[in-house]
């Protein structure tokens, strides 16, 4: 018998499926996948934040330094 879980988010098209007979290993794999998703979300937010910050700062710099 295999225990399975699926992890999905809005950043990736396909969910990740984890199947494991050993419950302890399943939990470790699940946590590792959640940490991977967390990093992807952090990276995406960081990129979007930096881009928005640049969009805000650039016009001000252009006006100030022409």
Strand, helix or coil for residue 20: strand
**Residue 17: per-residue pLDDT:** 95
**Residue 19: per-residue pLDDT:** 95
List per-residue pLDDT tens for the chain, 66 residues long: 899 999 988 888 899 999 999 999 999 999 999 999 999 999 999 888 888 887 777 666 556 555
Task: Read off the pTM.
Answer: 0.70
Assign residue 52 a region: left if phi > 0, alpha if psi is -120 to 50, beta otherwise? alpha
């Amino acid at each position: 018998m295999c225990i399975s879980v699926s992890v999905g988010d809005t950043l990736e098209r396909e969910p990740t499926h984890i199947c494991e007979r050993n419950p302890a290993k399943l939990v470790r794999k699940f946590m590792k996948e959640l940490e991977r998703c967390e990093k992807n979300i952090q990276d995406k937010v960081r990129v979007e934040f930096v881009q928005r910050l640049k969009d805000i700062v650039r016009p001000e710099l252009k006006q100030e330094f022409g």
